[in-house]
Structures are given as structure tokens and as C-alpha cells.
Structure 1
Amino acid sequence: MLEYSSTHFHDIAQEAAKILSSHFQRGINFSKIIQLTEIDRRNLILKLIIENPTTLIPASVILKKTTVEIQGETEQEQWSRFAHDWAGIEFLSAIGTDHAPQFWGASLEHQFILIEDLGEGHPSLVDPLTRASSPINLQKAEEALTAYVQRIGKMHADTFGKTQQFEAILTRVYPQTLRFHYLKTDDVTRILKRFEDLLGKITPQLQQEIEQIFSYLQQNDEFRVLLHGDICPDNVYFQGEKMRLIDFEYGDIGLALIDGVYLRMSMPSCWCSKNTPDNIIIKMETLYRNELKKKIETANVDNLYYRAKVYACAYWIIHNANRWLDEFLEQEWICPSGPLASDSKWDPTTNAFRPRMLSRLQSFIVHASRLGYLPVFTEACQALLHYLKQQWPQTSFMGFFPVFESKR
């Protein structure tokens, strides 16, 4: 952490003070600015210490500024991340929830948002999931996952039927924004080509099922909510028993179960990706569904809910295969790991891509077969899994998170 006076970030601090003064209807000045992120990170995070706080004005706020593009990222993609982060947090504050930090304001000119300071450090799900397996650590991990899935379920339930408000904010912030968590026509073309190369031909039944997935994700209103879209263990803030969601850069409107199957599909957008024991997945999915049932009637209807689950799993299979498989088919890739506690048992050297793909295919095949949806697409995934196991004879399925190793 680096501490500065407000003059070090003069333009940003001046704009932030102006926005907060308008929000709180009182002149705001900063006594100190603390830089929480390293210089080369894609977001600049500043902690702004407010002079003379009151019961209505916090002692500090967080400024999150988009600074550099991810490697290979276009200007539109960078602005889209910023717009979605802004829209997601403003929307959740506007509808009166505490699922995310409270939204205090934002600047288009300087590309930053001002949000609630959730406290010191960044306690997250990474620590409870990556500690050594022991009875007390297992209990703490399960408690953390319970808070996690219930928070996601509550957010989905609270945003159901209100998604037009998010759309309005997003369009206001950046009308040219990219949209996430559905399949584009190109995604359908690419996955059909992959199966054609693998199977020799595409049957009308397989093409029909893939087009059904495409249409369902585009048109489904039964579970249309605000998705976080990237609910990695380090994209939450977990202190005590309270879980809050952060980093809505890929938050968008879509099928609730895309977030809801995140554990089942072994956290498919995250560096911190491992398997979770089936009995814990079942328990967590039940808790998640119970939250949906409180406000989304279709969550009470088994056939509608189970279809949504299978289609959401299929989305992640197509998304992962199209995005990663060609790049890493011939050459394994070790995903860089994020910050870890000193007592973590996570091994960064084994954080490989190929076990993820095998495990997600296997998870989809088992679940879709059990529930009876997308049988032809499931057969194609079985053929893909068989092919990949032949191509990668030294690759095993992904292991459990370290805390669950004793449950093998």
C-alpha cells in the first residue's frame, strides 16, 4: 500500500470530491489517499480517507479506476468492462440491496466508480477453500460456501423482473457496450464445426439441440436476472458471516443458472478452479434454489428448473471449448494463480487447463444424462471427452479443492 496526499492524484481526487459532495450534499475533502493495487494492475484501486466523516458520511470510500487494457483487449472491450461494473453496482444499490458495495457515484471522463469501503484487506473464498483438510477447516469451508450460494441466490431473486433498470444504466454509461453470457451465431458455427471434425458429420438432431441452446439463452424469461458472470472465490468479500459480491465487470442480464451451476462446473471462469464433492454441490444447489423459490415462481417447477440447469451447463461447455480448446489442444497451459495465504495448500504449478476441460465435460455428461435433457448434444460431448483423453493420455480429471482432499 502507498499513501499519498490528495495532490498526488489531483484531477481524480478533485473529481471524486465533487461527485461525493453532490451525493452527500456537503463539501467533501480527503485527508489521505491510499493506493491499494500495484502499478501494473488493470484497475487502480484507491482508498479515499474523508475529512470529518459523520454518521451519514463514511470515513472512507473506494475509487476503482479502469487503467490499462488486458493483453489483446480492444478499447470497446475495456469500456464494456467499465460500463458493466458501473451498471451492476449502481443497479444493485438503486433497488435497495446490499449484495455488492454501495454505489456513491462515477466519472465517465476519468473512468472510475466510487463505492463503499468494505474494510481492511480482502477476505474471500480463496482462503477457506485452499487450506489443509481438517474437520474445523471443512466446517469453515462449508459455511463460506453456504454464504456464497445464498448471496448469489438472493441477488438473482431480488433482480428478477427488474432487469430493465440495469439495461437503462448500462446504455446510459456506454451505448456501444458488448453483452455477455449468451451464445452468438459465431459460437454455434464454431461448436458445430468442432463436432463435425470430430464425428465426421453433423446430424440434424445435433444441430437442432445446439440451436435450441442458442435460442433458449437468447429468449428465456423464466430465470432472467442480473448475473455476476465471474463469481470466482476472489470476487467476493467475506468477513465474519457476511458475503458481498465485487467486480461486476462481466455482470449482465441472463439465465440465472449460468451463475447457479458455477460450483458444478468447477468455477469455469476462474484461476482458482477445482472440483467440489458431489454431496456438497447438491447441498449448495438446494440452498441456492431455495433462495430463487422465494421470488421466482418457475424455480418451484422441476422440469423448468432442471432444463435451465442443463442448458446453463451446456453454455459453459460451449463457451470454454470455443474460447480455449484450440489454443491449448497441442500445448498445456498453467493458469497464473492469484494471491494466497501463507497457510494455503494450493499448488500453482498444477493449475493446468486440460484437467478443467475433462472435468467439466464429465460433469455435464453425468448431470445431463441424469436429468434427460439434450441427449444428442450429450453424446457429442461424450465423443469429445473420449477424443481429448486419447490426445492427452497423461492428463487426469481435476482434483478437489485442498480443503476437500480428505473426502476423496
Structure 2
Amino acid sequence: MIMEPELLAAVTKALQDHLGLEVKINDIQLLSEADRRNRIARLFLSLGNNGMRSVIFKQSLSDRNQETTDDDILARFARDSAGLKFLNGSDINHSIPKFLGANQNFRFILLEDLGNNHISLVDSLTKSDPDKAVAALKRFTKSLAHFDMASYGRINEYDELLASAHPKRETLEERIKWNEEDLIPKLELICNNFDIAFTNEVKQDAINVIKMILSPGDFYALTHVDICPDNVCDHEDKDKTSAD
């Protein structure tokens, strides 16, 4: 993989600022497929003290499968950056990689390389042994519970990190308004198709449901937003899972 000179310089600077060492990127191994909305690569480094190590580079890009604005890309970068920083300061039963730097202009984050020895949760669930599949699901749900518990009562810390990475992020009011404008006309269309009266009461009930779902409640906590098994590594020997 060849990295653009401006991007390469930004990555090098971010690593040097975080590590406090002179850094040289010797080689780059592309890990993601070309059509993915995130570019992920393993960077092989030499450090100022002649040490060697590798780190993971993740850059948010345009989604080729759907219309993507620059604000969409920035929002994804901001969530990645804020989430990793937040989890680095949390007591959680996950294998959390260390945060090693970021750049808002190029929408990338740098994180610790946890190595190659990772087994996808897909593999654990599709083995011929049902007991092992059940055990894997238990590890998965246990890790998700720890994830939620680690953020409970600390959401303000995450919000501050998110605001720093994306000052013009969508507000709760804007999110509610967008969902109302998107979902209410669809509900009206469905009602009309089934000859159901779309009254003001029905409309207001739907609006109340939207507000209730999106508004913080007593159990307000962070959660993994894409828990597909292929986004999770399963560590049977450590009795835990880790999220990509």
C-alpha cells in the first residue's frame, strides 16, 4: 500500500506527538478491502531508540454504497476517536487497544496493534460443537454488559471527548427532528395503505415514541452500535471477546 505524502506526514507527526519519539514508517500492510468505508492498515515502525513495533491505522472514508457527506465521515471519525479514548480510561472486560493518536483533517485514528491471533466470533458460532457456540455467546454478552457498565454514570466524559473531535455534531433536538421528518410521513403512508385513520392522536403518539427512544433515560450508557459477529473477536482462552 502506498500512502499519500501529506497523509504519511500527518500520521508520522501524530505518532511522534503521542509517543514522544522520532518515528519512521518502514512499511504499510493494507488490511481492509478497497470498497470499504474505512481504510485499515498495519504500519510497521522504527522508533528513535531503534525499537520496532507495529500500529493500526484506521481512516474514515466515503461510503461508496450510499450517499455520504463530509459531515457523515467526520461523525464516524469522531465516534471512533472519542470511543477509543473513553474506553482507554475505563475498567472494562475487553481487550481494548491503546489510543496512539488521531487527525481530524484526515479523519484517521491510530491504535495499538493487538496482533494477528484473533478468532472471529463467526468462527466460534459456526463450529460443530453447540456447547462451544453457547459458551462464545455467553462471553459475548458478558463483554457487552461490562462495556455498558463501564460507561454508566460517565457519559459526560464521553460527550466532552466527542465534542472535542466534532464540535458541530448533531444535537439531540436535531436527531429527534430528523427522525420525525423521516418517519412520520412513512407512518402516514402505511396507515393510508391499510385504511387506518392517521389522526393527530396517532401522529402525536408516534412523535412521543421517537422522543422516548432517543432521549436519555435512567439506564443511559454507551453501547456497541454494530454487534454483528464478524465485528467481534472471540478469545476463548481469556474468557472474553473484543470489539473491532
Q: TM-score range by the shorter chain?
A: 0.7 to 0.9
- Give 1:116 deviation, angstroms: 1.6
TM-score normalised by length of structure 1:
0.51
Answering whether residue 62 of structure 2 is matched by residue 62 of structure 1, we say no
For residue 243 of structure 2, the aligned residue among 245, 264, 285 is 245
Q: How many residues align?
A: 234
- Give 1:20 deviation, angstroms: 1.9
Q: Deviations over 1:198-232 (max 9, x none)?
A: 24214677556534422322333211111221111
State the identity %. Answer: 29
Answering whether residue 52 of structure 2 is matched by residue 37 of structure 1, we say no
Aligned to 1:231: 227
For residue 166 of structure 2, the aligned residue among 146, 167, 174 is 174
Answering whether residue 217 of structure 2 is matched by residue 221 of structure 1, we say yes
Query: What residue identity is the alignment partner of 2:120?
Result: S
- The 1-side partners of 2:171 and 2:40 are apart by 25
The answer as to whether partners of 1:69 and 1:75 remain within 8 angstroms in 2 is no
Query: What residue identity is the alignment partner of 1:125?
Result: L
Answering whether residue 71 of structure 2 is matched by residue 76 of structure 1, we say yes
Answering whether residue 98 of structure 2 is matched by residue 102 of structure 1, we say yes
Within 5 Å, which residues of 2 pair with 1:86-235? 86-95=81-90, 97=92, 99=94, 100-120=96-116, 123-131=119-127, 134=128, 136=129, 138-178=130-170, 184-197=179-192, 198-202=194-198, 206-207=202-203, 209-235=205-231
The answer as to whether partners of 1:195 and 1:202 remain within 8 angstroms in 2 is no
SS in 2 for 1:72: coil
- The 2-side partners of 1:18 and 1:177 are apart by 26
The answer as to whether partners of 1:101 and 1:244 remain within 8 angstroms in 2 is no
- The 1-side partners of 2:52 and 2:156 are apart by 30
- Give 1:119 deviation, angstroms: 1.8
The answer as to whether partners of 1:34 and 1:47 remain within 8 angstroms in 2 is yes
Query: What residue identity is the alignment partner of 2:135?
Result: E
The answer as to whether partners of 1:62 and 1:116 remain within 8 angstroms in 2 is yes
**Segments of 4+ in structure 1 off by > 4 A?**
203-209
- The 1-side partners of 2:44 and 2:157 are apart by 31
The structure with the largest strand share of the pair is 2
**Structure 1's 69 and 192: CA in aligned 2 closer, same or farther, altered over 3 A?**
closer
The answer as to whether partners of 2:191 and 2:197 remain within 8 angstroms in 1 is yes
Query: What residue identity is the alignment partner of 1:26?
Result: L
- The 1-side partners of 2:67 and 2:155 are apart by 31
Unaligned stretches of 5+ residues in structure 1: 247-408
**Structure 1's 242 and 95: CA in aligned 2 closer, same or farther, altered over 3 A?**
closer
Unaligned stretches of 5+ residues in structure 2: none
Query: What residue identity is the alignment partner of 2:87?
Result: L
- The 1-side partners of 2:185 and 2:98 are apart by 40
Aligned to 1:367: none
Q: Deviations over 1:352-400 (max 9, x none)?
A: xxxxxxxxxxxxxxxxxxxxxxxxxxxxxxxxxxxxxxxxxxxxxxxxx
- Which has the larger displacement, 8-17 or 226-235? 8-17
Q: Cα RMSD (Å) of the superposition?
A: 2.9
TM-score normalised by length of structure 2:
0.81
SS in 1 for 2:39: strand
